[in-house]
Chains A and B, each alone.
Chain A
Amino acid sequence: MQTAYARMVYGRYQQRTQRGDGVQPRRTTTFAHLLKDLCRRLVAFMFTQVGVCGLVVAYNIMGAFVFRAIEGEHGDAAPEEAALHLREDAVRKLWNITARLNILDQGQWRQEVTGALEDFQDRVVPLVKAKGYRGVYPSQAWSFSAALMYSLSVYTTIGYGNLTPRTEWGKIVTILYAIVGMPLMLLYMSNIGEVLAHIFKFIYFRVCSCDVGSLGYYRTASGNLRPVPVNARRGDEAKEGGKRGQGSRRTVPITYCLLVIAVYVACGGAIFSQWERWSLLDACYFSYISLSTIGLGTWCDVALSPQVPGRTVAGKSEEDEVESQQIIVTVYLLVGSALVAMCFNLMQEETIENLKSFWRKLGCLRKNDDGESSEGPSVSAHGG
């Protein structure tokens, strides 16, 4: 937030102090000033990349503890108990059938038992659908890593829905958590996305300027290894970067961005298919659905794991492994969302450039008109 003016003033101040001449006024820059400075630096640091990262992670962990406390320890286990009662009822009914039919006639017995079982099933299904029966008691279901996944899915707006809050306080806290968390996530995305975009561009142009021949589309100043080259781009026509000589307006083609995303999704798919014994299609589908924040979570319950990655049915076996897996998935998603933001950033630039030249071809924009088409920005302005 340091503006040019402030920087100028500050520079003058430093010059004075360094030179040592001039009337040095009473220097009251003691404790209060130090504290102020510290404060300012802290705030400034919080808005840097590391600070935002730390903030997001800390917020996530905090959320995990809070939800664990609310839902895990004090959560109600009504659906699980209801299921228990239902089962007891069903057993009693079956006993009655068996006792009544003194002579065990298999045909009749089968018919009646099937009826009873269907009845039982009809009661269990709504329990699962409407009440969110999980088959695991809350204290088990809301393990630390599961709560971590839940809070991630809330503030990234993925919303898997495999774990749902049952208590009233859980719902209220979810709403509040999302209200604070989503702006934080946006901040994270825009911040990290920008940084990653810079890095990616840097790398891309390094590689690209090494073999210009293969990428003739970008006729850069050949042999120029600087990351910020002069505006020697795209030959004679279209000098969009004309305003300033900054080459930072050079864009990375969309296909590369898509490739990065595709590779990331495929990597995730490979890892998940190993862990969860999903088919490769299923695993890729899962990571795509998660990264695009659609989050159709109920699907992710394949044989071993009725929850999102990890979580066995009984919730007992391989507990540690499952926990670490879930934590890794959390990290995967956090990094992935930053990567998606990066690609958005890059694609936005590219799209704007393309649309501009497109409009110019159509003759809607005059050559030097810097205004943008009505479509381009709206396509790409999502980044924020």
Chain B
Amino acid sequence: MGVERGRASQRSHGVVSQRSYGTSSSSSHGSKTKCKNCCRKFISFMCTQVGVGGLVVSYAILGAFAFRTIEKKGGDWQTNHTTHIHDDAVTTLWNYTERLNVLHKEKWYKDVDLALLDFQRDIVMVVKEDGYDGRNYTELWDFPASLMFCLSVFSMIGYGHMTPTTEWGKIATVIYAVFGIPLYIVYFMNMGRVFAKSFKFLYRAMYRCLNHGRKVAVEIEGEEEGDEAIIVPSTACIWVMIFYMTTGTIMFAEWEEWTYLDSCYFSFTSLAKIGIGDFVPGFEGGFEKASSHDSQTKLIINFMYLLIGMGIIAMCYTLMKEEIMVKLRALEHDFKEKLYICGLKLGLYEEESPYPEPRPTMHPRPRSVRKSVRRR
């Protein structure tokens, strides 16, 4: 992790230097340099937040259309399959009824119950295996739903509420994931950086504002120079995350009429990319809720909620990493100092040892310890 952080700081450095270099070189002429410049600008735009965000969204939309067209072919087979199961069940029932010429009620009940158990098992299998939903495929793979499917694939959530059934669908899913996941990771890191920057800025402004009201001017001077050192504490990140999750919880609970626990569970499992998929908005019940216009807008809002939520999680990840690094460094210093004091106490080295000061700026404690040693 330490490596990563170092890289992050390096990265910003690199971007700055690269930009300055670009402006200086633009004065030179020639079509080659122009082309180069253009290319560079395009790539650097693609690496900005807007570019990556747009890329992710357009990738999702593209995927949605692709899966719609691919999966539509699988529809006929499925409806055929269910009608086939129906016919079978009816035939067996008819056979039972016919065979038991005298309708002996209990025997009949027992047989029919068994037949229905078979039928039910078949139906459950179809539902679980092929994602049969009672709706036909054009309804199931409508645009928002396939958008959600694409999101769940490339963000690695994987709800599993709808799954590709055709062979081509499966192959396409694999290929889509192969390209989508790196793209998503770029988005994740980028968004994390942007959000972290803006959040830090906000936090600092707030911090300065609050302290300004509370403290006298003398303190502020010292604070100004240490402005860069203000780190957003991880509690703040956690609060932001909790706030975001609560918003989602209330939103989903209102729309989908879930209990609060359920919708909290849903938003946690989605944002943490677990995606168990027992609750997916817009897919409750299957039969009762036809995909109305209302639920489509909801699905799209849900899509945005998840995409932004990932960014916020990335932000928290970045900020917390920063804080942990700072804390670790402090711990290290502390540890060094303590070890030095231990050494002194044990009399490992005298006062004029080549390493007299572990660190120049310290709390008053080590000095007093050293004094006591000297006295001894």
Interface status of A378 (Cβ within 8 A of chain B): yes
| B269 engages A159 (CB within 8 Å) | yes
Interface status of B190 (Cβ within 8 A of chain A): yes
**A174 interface neighbour in B10, B14, B15, B269, Cβ under 8 Å:** B269
User: Known: A125-B127, A299-B160. Contact between A164 and B90, CB under 8 A?
Assistant: no
- Select the residue from B93, B103, B188, B283 with max chain A CB neighbours within 10 A: B93
Interface status of B244 (Cβ within 8 A of chain A): no
Residues 78-114 (chain A) with a chain B CB within 8 angstroms: 83, 87-88, 90-91, 94-95, 98-99, 104, 106, 109-110, 113-114
Set of chain A residues within 8 Å of B128, measured between Cβ atoms: 128, 298, 301, 306
Residues 289-317 (chain A) with a chain B CB within 8 angstroms: 289, 292-299, 301-303, 306, 313
| B163 engages A299 (CB within 8 Å) | yes
Interface status of B330 (Cβ within 8 A of chain A): no
Set of chain B residues within 8 Å of A303, measured between Cβ atoms: 125
Interface status of A381 (Cβ within 8 A of chain B): yes
> In the complex, how many residues of chain A place their beta carbon closer than 8 angstroms to a beta carbon of chain B?
95
User: Known: A296-B163, A381-B4, A381-B189. Contact between A364 and B105, CB under 8 A?
Assistant: no
Of B55-63, B110-118, B222-230, B303-311, the segment with at least 4 beta carbons within 8 Å of chain A is: B110-118
Set of chain A residues within 8 Å of B13, measured between Cβ atoms: 371
| A171 engages B10 (CB within 8 Å) | no
Scan B150-185; emit 1 where CB is below 8 A from any A CB, else 0.
Answer: 001100111111011001001101100100011001
Set of chain B residues within 8 Å of A301, measured between Cβ atoms: 125, 128-129
| B8 engages A157 (CB within 8 Å) | no
**A25 CB to nearest chain B CB (Å):** 4
Set of chain A residues within 8 Å of B34, measured between Cβ atoms: none
| B21 engages A366 (CB within 8 Å) | yes
Interface status of A374 (Cβ within 8 A of chain B): yes
Interface status of B98 (Cβ within 8 A of chain A): yes
**B130 CB to nearest chain A CB (Å):** 9
| A363 engages B25 (CB within 8 Å) | yes
| A91 engages B158 (CB within 8 Å) | no
**B113 CB to nearest chain A CB (Å):** 5
Set of chain B residues within 8 Å of A190, measured between Cβ atoms: 1
What's the Cα separation between A106 and B86 when bound, in Å? Answer: 16
| B125 engages A296 (CB within 8 Å) | no
| A178 engages B269 (CB within 8 Å) | yes
| A110 engages B4 (CB within 8 Å) | no
Set of chain A residues within 8 Å of B286, measured between Cβ atoms: 125-126, 129-130
What's the Cα separation between A374 and B181 when bound, in Å? Answer: 18
| A128 engages B7 (CB within 8 Å) | no
- Secondary structure of the A contact surface, majority rule: helix
What's the Cα separation between A109 and B98 when bound, in Å? Answer: 11
Chain B, interface size category, equals 35 or more
Interface status of B272 (Cβ within 8 A of chain A): yes
| A306 engages B335 (CB within 8 Å) | no
User: Known: A83-B120, A117-B86. Contact between A125 and B133, CB under 8 A?
Assistant: yes
**A159 interface neighbour in B123, B132, B158, Cβ under 8 Å:** B158
- Select the residue from A117, A124, A299 with max chain B CB neighbours within 10 A: A299
Interface status of B287 (Cβ within 8 A of chain A): yes
What's the Cα separation between A20 and B188 when bound, in Å? Answer: 58
| B348 engages A16 (CB within 8 Å) | yes
User: Known: A117-B86, A372-B7. Contact between A294 and B153, CB under 8 A?
Assistant: yes
| A161 engages B160 (CB within 8 Å) | yes
Residues 90-143 (chain B) with a chain A CB within 8 angstroms: 90, 93-94, 97-98, 103, 105, 108-109, 112-113, 116-117, 119-121, 123-125, 127-129, 131-134
| A171 engages B265 (CB within 8 Å) | yes
Set of chain B residues within 8 Å of A289, measured between Cβ atoms: 158, 173-174, 177
Interface status of A253 (Cβ within 8 A of chain B): no
**A294 interface neighbour in B40, B152, B188, Cβ under 8 Å:** B152
Q: How many A-B residue pairs have CB under 8 A?
A: 290
**B35 CB to nearest chain A CB (Å):** 11
Of A2-10, A221-229, A322-330, the segment with at least 4 beta carbons within 8 Å of chain B is: A2-10
User: Known: A164-B276, A282-B170, A306-B128. Contact between A369 and B181, CB under 8 A?
Assistant: no
Interface status of A168 (Cβ within 8 A of chain B): yes
| B174 engages A95 (CB within 8 Å) | no
Interface status of A365 (Cβ within 8 A of chain B): yes
Residues 241-260 (chain B) with a chain A CB within 8 angstroms: none
User: Known: A9-B343, A157-B273. Contact between A374 and B348, CB under 8 A?
Assistant: no
What's the Cα separation between A282 and B8 when bound, in Å? Answer: 40
- Select the residue from B164, B348, B349 with max chain A CB neighbours within 10 A: B348
Set of chain B residues within 8 Å of A124, measured between Cβ atoms: 120, 123-124, 127
What's the Cα separation between A384 and B185 when bound, in Å? Answer: 12
What's the Cα separation between A159 and B161 when bound, in Å? Answer: 12
8 A-B pairs in the complex with CB atoms less than 8 angstroms apart: A125-B132, A128-B127, A133-B124, A157-B273, A159-B159, A171-B261, A295-B158, A371-B18
The interface of chain A, by Cβ under 8 A from chain B, is 1, 3, 5-6, 8-10, 12-13, 16, 23, 25, 83, 87-88, 90-91, 94-95, 98-99, 104, 106, 109-110, 113-114, 117-118, 120-122, 124-126, 128-130, 132-133, 135, 153-154, 157-161, 164, 168, 171-172, 174-175, 178, 182, 190, 281-282, 285, 288-289, 292-299, 301-303, 306, 313, 359, 362-366, 369-375, 377-379, 381-384
